[in-house]
Amino acid sequence: MAPSQQAKSSKSARGLLTGLAVTACLLAGLSSARAQAPAKQPAAAPQATTPVAPQAAPQAVPGFWDPRRRPERPDLSRLTVIRFLTETDYPPFNFTGADGNPAGFNVDLARSLCEEIKVSCTVQMRRFETLVDALSSNRGDAIIASMAVSPQLRARVDFTDPYYRVPARFVSRKDAVMPEIRPEYLEGKKVGVIAGSAHEAYLKAMFTDAELHPYPNDDALRAALRKGEVDFIFGDAISLAFWINGTDSGDCCAFSGGPFVESRFFGEGIGIAVRKGNDVLRQALNWALFRVWEKGRYTDLWLKYFSVSPF
């Protein structure tokens, strides 16, 4: 299963990634990638450029922590174990390792947090749609599963500070790459998107002259682009970066234009969920997230798992 709808999108809430009021750099290197917002003024569409191989570097590493706002160390004496819940199949964030144990970016980050807090740590894998119910019924203490913060989920759980976010991007075949994409450039173009996703809602609101083609899942969406049934596809950039640079794409395609990060559609970021009112654990995790980032371990983990840049 590849990352997609709503940051894989709460499988329906997760892709909704209010701008994050962080004074730290949103993303190291994001200035060079330039987050796009659709422009309203007319402009001539650019010609397709000569195909260029996707660039794997420099890497853009999320940074949501302000070194000038160091959190105080909370009282950790009541914490003896943290039972993390994660999902079963969402590589590279969560997957079953060769030894049969949970693995992935989220799993390694959870273990780093437990090391920082100096408590025992367990990681249980469950289907994504069961995670919130499992947390609410005390079958775990925290969910670390690329779960997007949203108003709907905030009504059921509390979240830590965000530890990453997912932009959206367009992908085209390599012979039709556009260096920039605006709504007027896609007038009459066929654009594939996952049906019912935040990405579809964004296109309907902002790219009103494009011809939208909804697909039920990532495989069908990407196959449509490879076969030439659509001119572009639009979705979560982390998922698409791995597909573009993997064998499944057949080296067919590349990003067109830059990232879209409008929080109204793509949410507040990805956080760790805890039960409502569990401020002891939430504050401990926020403190540990800052410490892991400050020590450079967060950056090491990101670069370990993300060899291609979604920005």
pLDDT score of 32: 36
Q: With 90 as the cut, is the pLDDT of residue 249 above it?
A: yes
Q: How far apart are CA 282 and CA 276, in angstroms?
A: 10
Answer whether 171's CB lies under 8 Å from 257's CB: no
Q: With 90 as the cut, is the pLDDT of residue 268 above it?
A: no
Tens of pLDDT along 226-238? 999 999 999 999 8
Question: Average pLDDT in the 163-185 region?
Answer: 94
pLDDT score of 207: 98
pLDDT score of 81: 97
Question: Average pLDDT in the 284-304 region?
Answer: 94
Handedness of CA 256, 257, 261, 264 (dihedral sign): negative
Instruction: Give me the CATH code for the 168-260 domain, please.
Output: 3.40.190.10
**Tokens 């012979």 -> residue:** 175
Q: What residue spans in the chain does CATH classification 3.40.190.10 cover? A: 81-164+267-305, 168-260
pLDDT score of 145: 97
Q: How far apart are CA 231 and CA 212, in angstroms?
A: 10
Q: With 50 as the cut, is the pLDDT of residue 188 above it?
A: yes
The residues pairing with 217 across neighbouring beta strands, listed in sequence order, are none
pLDDT score of 73: 92
Q: Which of 110, 117, 109 is nearest to 75 (CA)?
A: 117
Band of pLDDT at residue 135, cut at 50, 70 and 90: very high
Q: Which fold has domain 81-164+267-305?
A: D-Maltodextrin-Binding Protein; domain 2 (3.40.190)
pLDDT score of 5: 42
3-class DSSP string for the chain: CCCCCCCHHHHCCCCCCCCCCCCCCCECCHHHHCCCCCCCCCCCCCCCCCCCCCCCCCCCCECCCCCCCCCCCCCCCCCCEEEEEEECCECCCEEECCCCCEECHHHHHHHHHHHHHCCEEEEEEECHHHHHHHHHCCCCCEEEEEEECCHHHHCCEEECCCCECCCEEEEEEHHHCCCCCCHHHHCCCEEEEECCCHHHHHHHHHCCCCEEEEECCHHHHHHHHHHCCCCEEEEEHHHHHHHHCCHHHCCCEEEEEEEECCHHHHCCCEEEEEECCCHHHHHHHHHHHHHHHHCCHHHHHHHHHCCCCCC
Answer whether 210's CB lies under 8 Å from 191's CB: yes
Backbone angles phi, psi at 258, to 5 degrees: -105, -175
User: What does pLDDT average to over the chain?
Assistant: 83
Q: How far apart are CA 49 and CA 46, in angstroms?
A: 8
pLDDT score of 178: 96
pLDDT score of 308: 66
State the CB neighbour count (10 A cutoff) for residue 185: 21
Q: Which of 174, 170, 240 is nearest to 210 (CA)?
A: 170
Answer whether 91's CB lies under 8 Å from 243's CB: no
Question: Average pLDDT in the 127-138 region?
Answer: 97
* pTM (two decimals): 0.69
pLDDT score of 310: 75
User: Which two tokens mark 81?
Assistant: 């174990």
pLDDT score of 6: 43
The residues pairing with 273 across neighbouring beta strands, listed in sequence order, are 143, 159
Question: 46 versus 206: which is more confidently predicted?
Answer: 206
Tens of pLDDT along 20-57? 333 333 443 333 333 333 333 333 344 444 444 444 44
